[in-house]
Amino acid sequence: MKKFEISPTTRRLARAVTVEDLRLAARARTPRAVFDYTDGGAGEELSMARARTAFSRVEFLPSVLRDVSVVDPSTDIVGRRAELPLVLGPTGFTRMMHYLGEPAVARAAERAGLPYVLSTMGTTPPERLAEEVPNVRRWFQLYLWRDRAASADFVQRAKATGCDTLMLTVDTPVGGPRLRDQRNGMTIPPQLTMRTFFDGARHPHWWFNFLFTEPLEFASLKHFNGTVAELSNIVFDPTASFADIDWLRTQWDGKLVIKGVQLPDDAARAVAAGADAVVISNHGGRQLDRSPTPLEQLESVLETVGDRAEVYMDGGVRSGSDIAAAVGLGAQGVMIGRAYLYGLMAGGEKGVDRVLEIMRAEFINSMQLIGVSTVDELRKQRARLRPPGV
């Protein structure tokens, strides 16, 4: 009888009990330039660090002697039920982190009952994603390109492939200063240099897949070979304005989410222009360093538009208790990017599954300890932010 063997990937993922464990595994398994592209932020990375610090300030307000033997972690997300108040947000160049790329993430999202957002800067076309993962709830993330005809084409392709929600990202008039990428000489796709050759000796599995699987290309922009900042400044439109949301509404009649709002008045203008939801986001600290911290902006944005639109946030979400913190402060839900990419880099599709398993278990445990059995109960001021330094 053949002896049953557990694969190294399975063992590695089973040992991970937090997303941080998977982050460390991802760092060990991925070339430095690729890991730093995922892990890093803009400038001195102050915004990125402050996002995590903000979650450390959250204090839950638990009720006791409540029956929490059974809890329901599901909620409505932009018109449809999701198994958690969580969206797998858009990430560019996903096949750079692991050769399976966006379809692997989408399949994990489908199993978890969560929406998945395909990025304009993804490495899988919307048509292919729809063919490979037809049953996941798919959204499409759009940047306003200098070429408006290209933006309109993306919208039509999203509609034709069954995406039910369009997410417009508005915090990228130009690219932010990614210092780690500059120091690493990071290009898209990675180039074979003397540095990457020696790095390849330490990460042979990644380099083998990079060299011998389907070439890494943008689904929407062929044959680009430069840095992320160079690409951003070629593609993104610094003249974009709120009037462009009016234009977008002539192209798209489905659900519309505006991501990258940071101030209450901008949230109000986005909703007035036709947004069904806004995402308080500073692009994960990857654009303007020293920008407002999303979790700390949640209260003021909710006060301004919470009665007219759904309000989400992202930035620094690394655990199920972080999800509970944001929802306990009033958010409809949160988005993650880095968190699931750590799982993808650590263990491919199974790694993304493991991230979502961990976060689900942590979220349910938080609900039980807070003393609530539904997400609606959790959303009723079951958390508060302690003053900084207290």
Q: Which residues are catalytic?
A: 283
Q: If you search the block for the tokens 């304005």, which residue do you land on?
A: 241
Choose among 46, 64, 19, 81: nearest CA to 372.
64
Structure tokens at 84: 């958690």
Structure tokens at 109: 């999202």
End-to-end CA distance of the chain: 61
Cα–Cα dist 323/60, whole Å: 12
Cα–Cα dist 271/384, whole Å: 26
Phi-psi region of 162 (alpha: psi -120 to 50; beta: other; left: phi over 0): left
Sequence-distant (6+) residues with CB within 8 A of 235 are 143, 145, 146, 221
Choose among 276, 90, 250: nearest CA to 169.
90
Phi-psi region of 79 (alpha: psi -120 to 50; beta: other; left: phi over 0): left
Sequence-distant (6+) residues with CB within 8 A of 99 are 209, 210, 213, 214
Q: What is the DSSP letter of 69?
A: S
Phi, psi for residue 312 in degrees, rounded to 5: -120, 170
Cα–Cα dist 321/307, whole Å: 25
What is the H or E stretch that residue 116 is in? strand 116-118
Question: Letter for the amino acid at 58?
Answer: V
